[in-house]
Structure 1
Amino acid sequence: MNEEMKVIVFTLGSEEYGVEVEKVKTIERMMPMTRVPKTFHFVKGVINLRGVVTPIIDLRGRFGLEETEPTDQTRIIIININDIEVGMVVDSASDVIDLESETVEDPPEIVGGVKAKYLRGVARIGDDRLLVLLNLEEVLNKSEIIQLEHIEE
């Protein structure tokens, strides 16, 4: 059965990634964050977004990629996963596209330096474009989510 899904496309370096639209709450511009001590290096801090304290992670740091200074294109994608809101810092968020499930293949071991466990698959778009789909449950794995939940207390 061929299913279609909508994904938001964002970039980290030269790679394009996608997350399902239904998991994305909002996309925000970069904003000041409050640092939180004793957290993982890729946890940049927390923001108060319309009254909700939201932890922010840097996806570059999460994936072991070189971290860069934010630009005008840098965005925070606020996702809701397992009833927890978390923001992911990405280089840019470009568009929303429809993907046919048949275009999604299992991920190779490593894509652009990112380990396969963080990936749900790779989608071919046209002849020359690959879109890496994130496995959000693994990007924010349970033990780390539990640690992030305690930030708010």
Structure 2
Amino acid sequence: MSDVVDDDLYRRTKALLEPGDIDLAGAIVHTDLSGQEDLEMHELTVELNEVIAAHAEMGETYIYAGNDDPEFASNQFQGLTVEDDAFVWECQQLLRDGTFDIVFYYEADVDQAALVAEVRDRGYEVTSVVLDEHGDVTTDV
């Protein structure tokens, strides 16, 4: 595990990616945004929605905040397809040491290296997170 990813963030990310109905991969976007920068967090989430949606190749998406769903936590969002509300991605915005890390996860059939490279090309620090064949989380910073 990389020094960039703290133990709590590692455990939370692993729990999100553990095997379920679909195989998932993820990306942790490290920001310098504070808890007071809600508009900037929204703008970043919208920008990263566009990146993930393009790589998922599932069509046009929108961001669902889950305000009407008691199963959703605050700072938890989903990218869903406009056509049929299909899952594209989910994220949790986690405050760590005064700044946010955003943990995204999505179906593992995307080109993970290309997706992470595009996020980096946009100027963001990102950690790629995938499960290996043993179900262990591997990261690439």
Fold shared per TM-score above 0.5: no
Give the TM-score category using the shorter length: 0.3 to 0.5
* Higher RCO (CA < 8 A, seq sep 6+): 2
- Would you tell me which structure has more strand in proportion to its own residues? 1
For normalisation by structure 1, the TM-score amounts to 0.31
Q: Which has the larger radius of gyration?
A: 1
